[in-house]
Structure 1
């Protein structure tokens, strides 16, 4: 489990993290979201003991990172996939880490197989593509078979097969009872991966809870109606006083639900080819909730 309580970090007059309290539970994939400059990287560094809090606490498995007896066996973290000695092979890199952490040498080959790098295990890491480096970084996080895993932008450089693989891996790790904490800017991918969310902005907590509850904050976007009898449907909608827009040979109705629209179409003699509710998305909910916390915004188009 990951836990922060009143976590605060300032750099001079700049407050990077302010009174941040959240929990990432075991057996769940928790997504960590926030605009650029929100304090996500600082928070992860504080959790890993790479920075010292100005106030508050950051605990992994009930303790500060620096008090963990076997850090690599407790927590695996991927903050920078490019961190490696370019002259070492993937196997040598992992064997060195295993040796310095009291882990069996065979573990290096096991995790290389898990991430699909066994065929290039003797290749120097300096010759790896970004996607291969991501896989090597993920292998490093798994080396100690830890209870807690932290990933920062883990799908960068991965092809579609790799993205699908890392998503399945995270689900499998959580299903084994581990805590999986992942930060990413790729909202569609996060929507398929995370079960819970922690959202911050300007160093403060904006939301903690389930993905489902967060997305539902975006609300319904209406119902899409597609029919070959557009004139009859349009007339029926106007007579009913419904609010709607037309797009791509369809109507998007914001004031009637699917049941009412089905009955209205039947009465109007309009055959339906589509009647689908348009629900909110992670992206919609995220943009609505973090709009006031975005530090860097772009101007209008030219």
Structure 2
């Protein structure tokens, strides 16, 4: 479990994270979203003890990172896929980490096979593509078989097959009872990956809850209506001041649910061929949330 309570980080006159409180539960994939400059990377660094908070606490399984007695077995992280010695092979990189953290060398081969790098384990990391570096970073995070995992943009540089592989990997890790906390700008992919969401803007929490609840916000904002009597329905909607757009014989109605539209059409004498709520999406809900305030425009810390 990850837990932030009143987490604040200020750099002189800039507040990167402000009074941030959230939890990420074991057995779930929690997506971490926010515009550029929202404070996502700063928050992850605070969780991992790489930066000291100005106020508040960040706990991993009930303790600050620096108090963990066996950190690599407790939490694994991928914050920067390019962090590695370019002259070391993938195997040597992982062997060094295993040796310095008291992990069995057999674990090196296991994670290399898991991420699909066993055939290039002897190749220098400096010759790796970005996608291969992402896989090496994931292997590094998994080396200690930790109970908590943090990933910052883990699918950058991966081809579609690799993106799908990461999705299945994260689902599998959560199904084993681990806490999985992942940041990504690829909203359609995040929608297929995360079960819970933490959304921030300018370092402050704007939403925490399930993916389904968040997407439902957007789904409830529109209904598709198809009728052979567009003039009658158009007049009825206009007289009520209802917001809508239309294509030939198809209306997209905002801020009115299906039941009320059906009653209005019946009263107006308009036959309906279709009356269906628009399917929401993470992208739609996210853009609606972040578009509601000037807080999300420019500036701030990433």
TM-score class, shorter-chain normalisation, is 0.7 to 0.9
**What is the CA-CA distance between 1:207 and the residue it aligns to?**
1.3
Of the structure 1 ranges 166-175 and 233-242, higher mean CA displacement relative to structure 2 is found in: 233-242
Between the two proteins, the alignment pairs up a number of residues equal to: 288
Question: Match of 1:296, SS?
Answer: coil
Query: Paired residue for 2:85?
Result: 85
CA separation of 1:19 and 1:238: change in aligned 2, threshold 3 A: closer
1:208-266 C-alpha deviation (Å, 9 max, x unpaired):
1111122222342433356xxx7x342452465476432377433444628939x97xx
1:36–1:295 contact (8 Å) kept in structure 2: no
Q: Distance in 2 between matches of 1:199 and 1:119?
A: 39
1:165-208 C-alpha deviation (Å, 9 max, x unpaired):
10111111111100000111111111111111111111111111
Q: Distance in 1 between matches of 2:108 and 2:249?
A: 57
When normalised by structure 2's length, the TM-score is 0.87
2:26–2:177 contact (8 Å) kept in structure 1: yes
Q: Distance in 2 between matches of 1:4 and 1:182?
A: 15
Query: Paired residue for 1:257?
Result: 258
Of the structure 1 ranges 210-219 and 179-188, higher mean CA displacement relative to structure 2 is found in: 210-219
Query: Paired residue for 1:37?
Result: 37
1:29–1:196 contact (8 Å) kept in structure 2: yes
Q: Distance in 2 between matches of 1:35 and 1:160?
A: 24
Query: Paired residue for 2:165?
Result: 165
What CA RMSD, in Å, does the superposition of the two structures yield over aligned residues?
A: 2.3
When normalised by structure 1's length, the TM-score is 0.87
Query: Paired residue for 2:27?
Result: 27
Query: Paired residue for 2:69?
Result: 69
Q: Distance in 1 between matches of 2:145 and 2:109?
A: 13
Gaps of 5+ in 1: 298-302
Question: Match of 1:197, SS?
Answer: strand
Q: Distance in 1 between matches of 2:271 and 2:75?
A: 63
**What is the CA-CA distance between 1:276 and the residue it aligns to?**
4.1
